[in-house]
Amino acid sequence: MHPHLVCFTPSCRAAFDITDVLYNCPKCGGLLEAAYDFGGLDPAALRKLWRERRMDNAPLAQSGVWRYRELFPFLDDTGHVITLREGNTPLLSGPRAAAYGGLDRITFKHQGFNPTGSFKDNGMTGGAAQARRLGMKRVACVSTGNTSASMAAYAVAGGLDPLIFIPNGNISYGKLAQALEYGAKTFQVEANFDQILALVRVLAEKLGIYLLNSINPFRIEGQKSIVIEMMDQRDWRVPDWIVLPGGNLGNVSAFGKGLREMLAVGLIDRLPRLAVVQAEGSSPFYEFMRDGGRGEFAAQTHPETLATAIRIGDPVSWPKAKLEIETTGGVVERATEQEIADAKAVIGHSGIGCEPASAATLAGIRKLTAAGVIDRGADVVAVLTGNVLKDPDYIYKYHTGQLQAPGGAAIRPSFGNAPVVVANDPDRIAALIG
């Protein structure tokens, strides 16, 4: 069986060619996913091969994504790949953060160590390779910032024209700056993420532009490598929990698919539980799953959060995310602006640092341990999705007591660390140092 695209909707499961340019099932409108026959794969041989590649200087072996390509063999020719040596992100322990989160220990998988500073690079190298394989010239995305930064870099590195659509305001300057620096044509649209996604889908169709949002199944294939690399780094010991922030819900969909496939191939012996954390003002998936995901999915028309990366009210991948939460016995939590801000400062104070959306993980963990959902002794990996320098404005405002939640409520700098303005006077400074 050749790799192919399949409709994700259980009652449909229509199959399509892997080179069809599709984002939704033409039969039922459902989401699509890549499907393979993993029948011949030997887990011991794969583990050995992947370890050997770490010592190999070939670009594809050095990529922390393509090193694991046997689990996403959708390309006919790896010559289409553009790699910036993405992945290879560390597992870091954070004792201070663990204590804050009510855990004996915590491990962070820090995707902010990626070439453009977020986990999007893992997926983008996959989507960009497919764009080149299809002979596309122009690629587009709507983004809260990280997808656009990543797409811009991979597109120009691979000779494609990037077109970026972002909400006017509500995007951090670090991310906007990256898009401009990498040379993407950038449109700041007077609308929110969900509205712009609808717009970009129309434009993509009309102008024959390839869409690189996470609705693109090849983005999801690349993002599976985050959990594959995580397990490789842990010598295939499965944690009890993997915790991640949720926005458009592409990442949790990728994690779940990757984990299920690793289980099927025999690389792992059980599934970890997945916990998705949303920002309280942008938490449609939390609301939906609160009563078991049985009702209608209700989008939020005015999502709000200072964690702008996850300011999304109508996440496209919710059906996939629902399946992955259910399959892994997972949970969905939400955190307030204050909780996210404080958790972020604690991660910073652990010498690690991350952007606001990423800190939703620790804020959520603190609530889940307090509620007895996660045990104090559990083996927990929290995925930090973006680099600390993505949103310096937020950091400065928090530490100087100027940060305000979307409604205008002040955020307390519980762990504030304001700079001290002082005259050029050694005695005075010595007295201040004490």
Closest approach, Cβ 425 to ligand F0G, in A, equals 42
The span from the CA of 205 to the CA of 209, in Å, is 7
Nearer Cβ to ligand F0G (251/328): 251
Choices 125-133, 145-153, 332-340, 423-431 (CB under 6 A): range interacting with ligand F0G: 145-153
Asked if 310 interacts with ligand F0G (CB under 6 A), we say yes
Neighbours of 48 (CB within 10 A): 11
Query: For the chain, what is the radius of gyration of the CA atoms?
Result: 21
The span from the CA of 213 to the CA of 29, in Å, is 17
Nearest alpha carbon to residue 359 among 331, 402, 390: 390
Nearer Cβ to ligand F0G (107/143): 143
Q: Which of 147, 282, 328, 369 is in the footprint of ligand F0G by CB under 6 A?
A: 147
Q: Which of 145, 222, 272, 413 is in the footprint of ligand F0G by CB under 6 A?
A: 145
The span from the CA of 74 to the CA of 38, in Å, is 12
The span from the CA of 166 to the CA of 344, in Å, is 24
The span from the CA of 45 to the CA of 273, in Å, is 27
Choices 40-48, 54-62, 141-149, 327-335 (CB under 6 A): range interacting with ligand F0G: 141-149
Q: Which of 245, 256, 258, 313 is in the footprint of ligand F0G by CB under 6 A?
A: 245
Asked if 309 interacts with ligand F0G (CB under 6 A), we say yes
Tokens 């399946």 belong to 323
Nearest alpha carbon to residue 148 among 188, 117, 107, 178: 178
User: Are 307 and 385 within 8 A, CB to CB?
Assistant: no
Tokens 């990442």 belong to 251
Say if strands 15-17 and 185-189 run parallel, antiparallel, or are unpaired: unpaired
Closest approach, Cβ 385 to ligand F0G, in A, equals 3
Closest approach, Cβ 175 to ligand F0G, in A, equals 8
Site string for ligand F0G, 358-397 (x = CB under 6 A): x--------------------------xx-----------
Asked if 249 interacts with ligand F0G (CB under 6 A), we say yes
List binders of ligand F0G among 153-172 (CB under 6 A).
none
List binders of ligand F0G among 337-356 (CB under 6 A).
355
* Sites of contact with ligand F0G (CB under 6 A): 118, 120, 143-147, 214, 245-251, 309-310, 355, 357-358, 385-386
